[in-house]
Amino acid sequence: MTRRISILGATGSIGSSTLDLIERNPDRFEVAAVTANSNVDELAAIARRTGATLAVIADETKYSALKEAVAGTRCAVAAGENALIEAAQAEAELVIAAIVGCAGLRPTMAAIEAGRTVGLANKEALVTAGSLMTETARRKSVDLLPVDSEHNAIFQCLAGESTDQIERMILTASGGPFRTWTAERIDAATPDQAVAHPNWSMGAKISVDSATLMNKGLELIEAHHLFGVSADRLDVVVHPQSAIHSLVEFVDGSMLAQIGPPDMRVPIAYVLGWPERIATPVPRVRLADLGRMDFEEPDLQRFPALRIAREALAAGGAAAVVLNAANEVAVELFLANRIKFNDIPAIVEQALNRHSGPSPASIEDVMEIDRGSRADARLVAGSFCR
């Protein structure tokens, strides 16, 4: 039996890696629904190539262009935000949630509500609606399989273990492109420099998040929700070689680590094949070539975003939604060359100080806090913009 897979965010970095694995294993996988934000040509090419049954473009103005581009195939076409929900709920065994940002929240929740197994890359969805999402998954008996490499590593380390014997989880961080830079040099960093990650090739937003270490902060919150571990039992260690993707420490003092090449096709393959493994064409880690593995404490002075994210996790309530929204706004402004690199954490911190509120009780709540925090963050950013 082939497994039908839908890909939300099929044109992105995670989407492309997922498609690469699916297309290498045509006897195991079929493509169901695919979605993109606005790139009609690429979405249509994917639909044609894979025989997808539904293609959805978020940008409504692109509907006719998409329809034309897949004419003559059996692929149905739809456009707009609500059509993303339709794609998330289309008949499939697995939905890869790989839209970037809070924009992926409603489609990801829709997939869970429809009882689909979800391969979760869209960390912003879990950061902003963690409890709602894990509760719904429990209620619907849906497996949430982590695609993010750190969480996938931990998920692999937990196979066959009981959760009450976990002492801590340690997320590894590469340290990003500015790990060895002075504070002054970091302050003058350009978008191009921030997006040039030393070990991983990824979308622009997550690349900037990796450079500020906000990515690791978001991942702490992600781990908290995925694995039900309290903040005081979650650590971060900088490991520049990105060979170990994360570790779990147990009550007996044992630590398990997952080692692999820095290629997202490895964690994605684990999710696609789970509970089995599938072969990947990824160049293997040669330990003798690697030579050594280094570890160091993250520097919270030069990289305050990690501290700010930890504080948001400790604060609870709506803080994680505000953190994420302000960060999305600030990263966009930085990529547009409107603010300096160090303004990103400064804007996020100020936005957090302006807002406090109870935990969102519904996805509508989350979306409303998200909208308000974006407006707030833009206001705060005004005094930073050049």
| Residue 215 labelled as part of a binding site | yes
Given a contact cutoff of 8 angstroms between Cβ atoms, the answer to whether 374 and 329 are in contact is: yes
CA–CA separation, 228 and 187 (whole Å): 36
| Residue 12 labelled as part of a binding site | yes
Give residues in contact with ligand NAD (CB under 6 A).
Answer: 9-15, 36-37, 58, 98-100, 103, 121-124, 148, 200, 202-203, 206, 264
The distance of closest approach from Cβ of residue 285 to ligand NAD in the complex, given in angstroms and rounded to an integer, is: 17
| Residue 205 labelled as part of a binding site | no
What does 333 interact with, of Mg ion, ligand NAD, none (CB < 5 to 8 A by kind)?
Answer: none
Residue 258 C-alpha from the chain's centroid: 19
The distance of closest approach from Cβ of residue 106 to ligand NAD in the complex, given in angstroms and rounded to an integer, is: 10
| Residue 190 labelled as part of a binding site | no
What does 203 interact with, of Mg ion, ligand NAD, none (CB < 5 to 8 A by kind)?
Answer: ligand NAD
Total Cβ atoms within 10 A of residue 128: 29
Minimum CB distance to ligand NAD smaller for 44 or for 58: 58
State both tokens at 172. 């590894």
Minimum CB distance to ligand NAD smaller for 14 or for 369: 14
Angle CA(358)–CA(363)–CA(369) in degrees, nearest 5?
A: 50
| Residue 39 labelled as part of a binding site | yes
The distance of closest approach from Cβ of residue 252 to ligand NAD in the complex, given in angstroms and rounded to an integer, is: 31
Of 9-17, 94-102, 107-115, 150-158, which segment contacts Mg ion by CB under 5 A?
Answer: 150-158
Minimum CB distance to ligand NAD smaller for 98 or for 312: 98
Asked if residue 263 binds Mg ion (CB under 5 A), the reply is no
| Residue 148 labelled as part of a binding site | yes
| Residue 324 labelled as part of a binding site | no
SS3 string of the chain?
CCEEEEEECCCCHHHHHHHHHHHHCCCCEEEEEEEECCCHHHHHHHHHHHCCCEEEECCHHHHHHHHHHCCCCCCEEEECHHHHHHHHHCCCCEEEECCCCHHHHHHHHHHHHCCCEEEECCHHHHHHHHHHHHHHHHHCCCCEEECCHHHHHHHHHCCCCCHHHEEEEEEEECCCCCCCCCHHHHHCCCHHHHHCCCCCCCCHHHHHHHHHCHHHHHHHHHHHHHHCCCHHHEEEEECCCCCEEEEEEECCCCEEEEECCCCCHHHHHHHHHCCCCCCCCCCCCCHHHHCCCCCECCCCCCCHHHHHHHHHHHHCCCHHHHHHHHHHHHHHHHHCCCCCCCHHHHHHHHHHHHCCCCCCCCHHHHHHHHHHHHHHHHHHHHCCCC
Taking alpha carbons only, the member of 119, 112, 6 closest to residue 56 is 6
CA–CA separation, 368 and 48 (whole Å): 37
Minimum CB distance to ligand NAD smaller for 123 or for 350: 123
Of 87-95, 149-157, 284-292, 296-304, which segment contacts Mg ion by CB under 5 A?
Answer: 149-157
The distance of closest approach from Cβ of residue 133 to Mg ion in the complex, given in angstroms and rounded to an integer, is: 18
Minimum CB distance to Mg ion smaller for 108 or for 350: 108
What does 58 interact with, of ligand NAD, Mg ion, none (CB < 5 to 8 A by kind)?
Answer: ligand NAD
What does 99 interact with, of Mg ion, ligand NAD, none (CB < 5 to 8 A by kind)?
Answer: ligand NAD
Compose the 119-148 pattern: x for residues touching Mg ion by CB under 5 A, - for all others: -----------------------------x
Minimum CB distance to ligand NAD smaller for 37 or for 73: 37
The distance of closest approach from Cβ of residue 141 to Mg ion in the complex, given in angstroms and rounded to an integer, is: 27
| Residue 122 labelled as part of a binding site | yes
The distance of closest approach from Cβ of residue 34 to ligand NAD in the complex, given in angstroms and rounded to an integer, is: 9
Using CB positions, name the residue nearest to ligand NAD. Answer: 12
Known binding positions for Mn(2+): 148, 150, 219
Known binding positions for NADPH: 11-14, 39, 122, 124, 203
Known binding positions for 1-deoxy-D-xylulose 5-phosphate: 123, 149-150, 174, 197, 210, 215-216, 219
